[in-house]
Amino acid sequence: MILKLIRYLMNLGAFVCSLMVLIIFHEEIPFFKMEEMKRFVVTTSSDKKTINYVGLLTYMNSILLLSGLYMNHFNILILFKDSIHSFWGNFLMLVGIFIIITASKTVAEFITMNAKPAELKLIDLGIYSKLRHPRYLGETLFWIGAGISSNNIIILTLISLLTLAVYLFTMNREEKMLIEDLGDSYVSYMKKTKRVIPMIY
């Protein structure tokens, strides 16, 4: 009975954290806008589609976490029998939030609404001097951590696959747009940095 209560509370905690991220994404522009905000804001249809993909991911993962409460109640594919191990998920979530905040603070002062192409500037300061998409790294760690905290194999698998698919698609799309807008300066920046994992990818 106690273990079931612990599992329920941990899953509920992961769901509440995801709701907090939803609030942050929608109330704070530096957090909600897509990764391209690290350099500029361009209100085009392509940008809005990218934002929609990331926003949809947030809603879907939140629904999955809520579904985990039901599945764990009936002991459907529990990840850890010893619930204490799922606290590693909470640790990943905290690391992810720290990276998101660090990246967002780095770019907040450079965000300009309705920037014109001639006004666009490449920002390669702080964490962006090493990684091109640090916020996506933070968000991926957050969601995978939430999946681990859900303590359910199905939920962890679905969240991980969905998150990786959306962010890989989004990064490819954004980098193509950035190459078109920033040209050789962004190509040079790509050669000096990794996408999301230092020294690896």
CATH number at residue 13: 1.20.120.1630
Top pLDDT among 146 and 50 is at 146
Residue 52 lies in domain: 2-192
Q: Is residue 200 part of a domain?
A: no
Mean pLDDT of 68-73: 80
Q: Is residue 199 part of a domain?
A: no
Contact 54, 33 (CB under 8 A): no
Q: Is residue 75 part of a domain?
A: yes
pLDDT tens readout for residues 43-57:
444 455 566 778 888
pLDDT of 193 > 80? The answer is: yes
Contact 171, 39 (CB under 8 A): no
pLDDT of 199 > 80? The answer is: yes
Q: Is residue 201 part of a domain?
A: no
Q: What is the pTM of this model?
A: 0.76
What pLDDT sits at residue 17? Answer: 60
Top pLDDT among 100 and 119 is at 100
Give counts: helices (H), strands (E), the chain: 7, 0
Domain count, the chain: 1
Q: Across all residues in the chain, what is the average pLDDT?
A: 77
Q: Is residue 49 part of a domain?
A: yes
Q: Is residue 96 part of a domain?
A: yes
Q: Is residue 197 part of a domain?
A: no
